[in-house]
């Protein structure tokens, strides 16, 4: 039997194996606070029943257990009553299950987005270089002079946002060609590209040379550390007259309370623009299996929403003052019973967001 993280997005450390119990822990790497992302593969365990125990007893696993895949493309939740706790899960490997992937959340890797780009005809262009010298790309849908910018993975582990962007692009490419002649969608879906490929947390990074948190969503400063953030900020400045809206897609804390919802981050400095967009989003998603509810608005100056620091949306508000909307969208990793996040339901919510964009700019 082999337990490893030797693939893009992998993250695990095997501490010990005691009979049918495998003691593991995720790697925080440059993240200097406790975080919860993991992803690992088990090979050669056919017919065995194993319990995977995260040894520090902290929250690592959500309501439906880990996400599971057999090909690293299609994902489903374990979702067996009693099979998991917030820090352990038990899995019985079928006789033909020679390779099984387990992850804290539903994965979205760059290969999927490239397949989407080819399928629906996105224009793929070089955008920046990662810290490790990897080529990063932007993708554009439409030919209009005006544009809406969509970003995700400022924090590498937050894959829900990339599914949201996929849903937006599919909806507009299929049903809103007239809109795309006036307004294009410009997206960088993997802002922390190294983190996505390497399997980092990405949240709360303290890179070499820093003594405070400076992840990609804390880098919208006069001289950004990350080239991708520098390039994005320069786009805000150089094209400010044509940018109609910016949505930065994230996932919140692992679970509980507001973290189980789909919510828009409100700010005093954008006022009714965001309230009105949220209402459109509520209406467009009201019939979906995973949706945005009106009562889940997250007001300004509440809890961590009082921190306006050097973030993506803070930069937009400063540099693109006349845009129609600019906000962070937080999408729960798991959701709740009756409002569950799945590989199928999150892109549907993205489609609703796409319709909301069109209506808000019509």
CATH number of the structural domain spanning residue 233: 3.40.630.10
Distance separating alpha carbons of residues 240 and 76, to the nearest angstrom: 41
Which tokens belong to 148? 């809406």
My answer on whether 239 and 325 are in the same domain is: yes
CATH number at residue 43: 2.60.40.3120
Report the domain count for the chain. 2
* Residue 33: DSSP 8-state: S
Q: Are residues 95 and 114 in the same domain?
A: no
Condensed to tens digits (0 to 9), the pLDDT of residues 120-178 reads 999 999 999 999 999 999 999 999 999 999 999 999 999 999 999 999 999 999 999 99
pLDDT exceeds cutoff 80 at 271: no
> Quick one: tokens of 118?
């080819």
pLDDT in tens, 105-118: 999 999 999 999 99
* Sign of the alpha-carbon torsion through 334, 63, 90, 95: negative
At 73-93, the pLDDT tens digits run 999 999 999 999 999 999 999
- Parent domain of 69: 2-103
pLDDT at position 268: 66
Tokens of 283: 């209406």
85 and 180 co-located in one domain: no
Give the tokens for residue 247: 């949505």
- Does the structure show a pLDDT above 90 at 6? yes
User: What is the C-alpha to C-alpha distance for residues 297 and 282, in angstroms, rounded to an integer?
Assistant: 10
| Residue 286 structure tokens | 């009201």
Task: Return d(Cα 268, Cα 33) in angstroms, integer.
Answer: 29
pLDDT value at position 296? 81
Q: What's the rounded Cα separation, in Å, for the pair 327 and 360?
A: 14
Residue 313 and residue 256 share a domain: yes
pLDDT over threshold 80, residue 60: yes
Six-digit token pair at 103?
């992850």
Pair 190, 312 in one domain: yes
CA distances from 57 to 187, 255, 347 (A): 38, 15, 32
- Least confident range from 89-93, 267-271, 296-300: namely 267-271
Question: Which of 159-168, 194-203, 296-305 shows the lowest mean pLDDT across its residues?
Answer: 296-305
Same structural domain for residues 189 and 42?
A: no
Name the average pLDDT for the chain. 95
Q: Which of 170, 158, 150, 62 is nearest to 108 (CA)?
A: 158
Strand partners, 141: 185
CA 83 to chain centre: 26
| Residue 304, pLDDT score | 65
Eight-state DSSP code of residue 237: H
Q: What is the pTM of this model?
A: 0.97
What's the rounded Cα separation, in Å, for the pair 280 and 284? 6
Q: Are residues 270 and 324 in the same domain?
A: yes
According to the model, what pLDDT value does residue 301 have?
65
């Amino acid at each position: 039997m082999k337990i490893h993280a030797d693939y893009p997005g992998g993250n695990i450390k095997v501490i010990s194996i005691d009979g049918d119990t495998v003691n593991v822990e995720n790697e925080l790497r440059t993240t200097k606070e406790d975080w919860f992302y993991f992803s690992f593969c088990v090979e050669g365990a056919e017919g065995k029943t194993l319990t995977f125990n995260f040894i520090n007893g902290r929250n690592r696993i959500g309501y439906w257990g880990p996400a599971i895949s057999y090909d690293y493309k299609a994902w489903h939740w374990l979702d067996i009553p009693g099979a998991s706790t917030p820090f352990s899960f038990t899995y019985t490997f079928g006789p033909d299950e020679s390779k099984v992937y387990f992850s804290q959340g539903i994965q979205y890797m760059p290969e999927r987005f490239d397949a989407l780009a080819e399928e629906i005809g996105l224009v793929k262009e070089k955008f920046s270089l990662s810290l490790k010298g990897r080529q990063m790309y932007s993708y554009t849908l439409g030919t209009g002079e005006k544009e809406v910018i969509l970003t995700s993975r400022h924090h590498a582990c937050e894959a829900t946002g990339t599914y949201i962007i996929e849903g937006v692009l599919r909806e507009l490419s299929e049903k809103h060609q007239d809109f795309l002649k006036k307004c294009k969608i410009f997206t960088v879906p993997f802002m922390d590209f190294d983190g996505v490929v390497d399997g980092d947390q990405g949240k709360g990074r303290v890179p070499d040379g820093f003594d405070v948190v400076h992840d990609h969503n804390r880098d919208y400063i006069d001289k950004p550390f990350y080239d991708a953030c520098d390039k994005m900020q320069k786009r805000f400045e150089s094209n400010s007259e044509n940018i109609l809206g910016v949505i930065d897609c994230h996932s919140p804390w692992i679970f509980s309370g507001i973290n189980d919802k789909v919510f828009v981050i409100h700010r005093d400095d954008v006022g009714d623009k965001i309230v009105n967009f949220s209402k459109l989003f509520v209406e467009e998603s009201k019939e979906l299996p995973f949706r945005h509810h009106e009562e889940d608005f997250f007001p300004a100056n509440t809890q961590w929403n009082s921190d306006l620091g050097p973030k993506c949306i803070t930069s937009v508000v400063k540099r693109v003052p006349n845009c129609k909307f600019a906000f962070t969208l937080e999408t729960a990793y798991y959701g709740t019973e009756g409002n569950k996040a799945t590989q199928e339901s999150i892109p549907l919510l993205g489609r609703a967001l796409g319709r909301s964009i069109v209506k808000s700019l019509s």
